Structure 1
Amino acid sequence: MKQVNLLIADDHAVVRSGLRQFLASTEDLKVAAEAATGEEVLALVRQGVCDVVLLDISLPDLDGLEVLKRVKREWPDLPVLIFSMYSEDEFAVPALNAGASGYLNKDSPPGQILTAIRAVATGARYVSPALAEKLLAGTVSRGKRLPHEALSAREMEVLLLLSKGIPLTKIGETLHVSVKTVSTYRSRVLEKLAMQSNAEVTRYVMEHKLG
C-alpha cells in the first residue's frame, strides 16, 4: 500500500493537531507537513513534500482560493482538497472551477474525510453526496465572481505591480513591454475593477489578500 503524504494548511493549530492525530490511526495516510499561511503552503509545495494538499480557504495572509490558483498554475497535477468551515453551497463551485480536486466541510464525518482524501490522491474528484445532489439538481450557488477574476494573467500581473507603487516605466522593464502597453493594461484593469486610481488598486489588493 503506497503511503500518501499530506500537507495540512490551516491557521488553527488545534485543527492541524486534530487531523494529525486522526490520520495517525490510518496506515496509508501520513501528515508530512503543516502550514499556517498561504506563503508557507507555496514554500512547502515547492519542496515537493506532499502528494495531496488539504487546504483551508481562510488563511491570514493570502485568500485560500488564491493559494489554490497559484498551486495549480505551477503544479497542475497536485491534488488540492479544500477543507473549510465555509458553506459548500457558497464556495464549492468557485473552488472546483479554480482547480480543486474536491471540497469538504470541516463538519464532515470522519469516514467521509478519509474517503475524500483517498479519492483525490488517486486523481479522482470528490464532493459530498449532499453537494453532488445539489449540483445535479442545479440548486447550488455558482459563487460570486470577484472583479479581479475577469482579469487576464497579464492584467493580473500589472494589477499586483501597480498595487506595490511601482512606476509604469519599471513595470514595463519587468514585463519586457513598452510603457504605452503597460498604460493600456492599467486602463483595462481600472475599467474592469471600476476604479479611478492606483490607490484604489492597492486597497483592493490588500482587502482581497492578493499580493
Structure 2
Amino acid sequence: MTEKATIRVFIADDHAIVREGLKQILADSRDIVVGGEAENGLDAIRLFPKSRCHVMLLDISMPDKNGIEVLKQIKKEYPDTQVLMLSMHREDQYAIRSLKAGAAGYLTKQAAPKELVVAIRQVAAGQKYVSAALAQTLASQVGEDHTTPVHDTLSDREYQTLTLIASGKTVSDIALELSLSVKTVSEYRARLLVKMKLKNSAELTHYAIRNHLVE
C-alpha cells in the first residue's frame, strides 16, 4: 500500500462514545476512512470480513471475547490484516503479550490523536508501531538472561482474570464484566492459583502489584 492510498479502518470497541471519538479523529485524515465497526468480539470477527478493511483498531477489554482472542482469530483467518491494539491498559500490562499474538502495534487510549493517525499509517504500510517507551523496554530485553515470569505462561483469559482480581473485583464482578458464568471464572481462578503456586486472591493481588501488572 502506498502512502497516498486510502486506508480502510475497522473499529472494534464496546464503548459507543469511544468509537464515535475515533471516527471524528480519523475524519480529518484524507487518506483514512472508517469502513466498519463492532461493539464486541464476536461481532468483530463476523463483520470484519465484509468491511474490506486493511487495518483493525481493536480494544483489549471487550465482552464475550477479549481483544487478544479476537486478534489471534483474525490473524489466523486473515493473516494480511494489520491489527493495532488500542487499550486503556498501560503498555507494560498487555503490549508485549499483544505483539507476540500478532498485533502490528499497541497504543493506549491516552495517546494524542496525531499519534493514532501516525500509528495507523505505519501499520498499514506493513511496519510495526510501538511508543518510544515500549521500544526501550523491548530493546532492554534483548540478550537478557532471565527466566520467563510466571504470568507470561498464563492463557489470555487467565491473565485477564489475574489482573481483574488484583484490581479488587470479585468472581461475580468478573463474570459479569466478561459475560462468563461464575463457575467458569472460578475455574480460571483455581488454575491461576495452581500455575502460580499461590494460596488465595490476596497472594494473586500481591504478585500482580509487585510485578506492575495493575495500577
CA distance in 2: counterparts of 1:46 and 1:2, whole angstroms: 20
Q: Is the 8 A contact 1:90 1:143 kept in 2?
A: no
Paired residue type of 1:15? V
Tell me how far 1:121 sits from its aligned partner.
Answer: 0.3
Q: Secondary structure at the match of 2:106?
A: strand
Q: Is the 8 A contact 2:35 2:51 kept in 1?
A: no
Alignment correspondent of 1:104: 107
Q: Secondary structure at the match of 1:61?
A: coil
2:60 pairs with one of 57, 62, 81? 57
Alignment correspondent of 2:48: 45
CA distance in 2: counterparts of 1:26 and 1:16, whole angstroms: 16
Which residues in structure 2 correspond to 1:39-188 (within 5 Å)? 39-138=42-141, 144-145=151-152, 147-148=154-155
Percent identical among aligned pairs is: 43
Tell me how far 1:24 sits from its aligned partner.
Answer: 0.6
- Counterparts in 2 of 1:32 and 1:93: CA distance versus 1, 3 Å: same
Tell me how far 1:43 sits from its aligned partner.
Answer: 1.0
Tell me how far 1:144 sits from its aligned partner.
Answer: 2.6
Q: Secondary structure at the match of 1:40?
A: helix
CA distance in 2: counterparts of 1:92 and 1:142, whole angstroms: 15
Superposed CA RMSD in Å reads: 2.6
Tell me how far 1:100 sits from its aligned partner.
Answer: 0.2
Aligned residues: 156
- Counterparts in 2 of 1:46 and 1:104: CA distance versus 1, 3 Å: same
Q: Is the 8 A contact 1:10 1:36 kept in 2?
A: yes
Alignment correspondent of 1:31: 34
Tell me how far 1:147 sits from its aligned partner.
Answer: 4.1
Unaligned residue ranges in structure 1 (runs of 5+): 150-201
Q: Is the 8 A contact 1:101 1:126 kept in 2?
A: yes
Alignment correspondent of 2:12: 9
TM-score (norm 1): 0.67
Tell me how far 1:89 sits from its aligned partner.
Answer: 0.6
Q: Is the 8 A contact 1:57 1:63 kept in 2?
A: yes
Which of the two has higher C-alpha Rg?
1
Q: Is the 8 A contact 1:10 1:56 kept in 2?
A: yes
TM-score (norm 2): 0.66
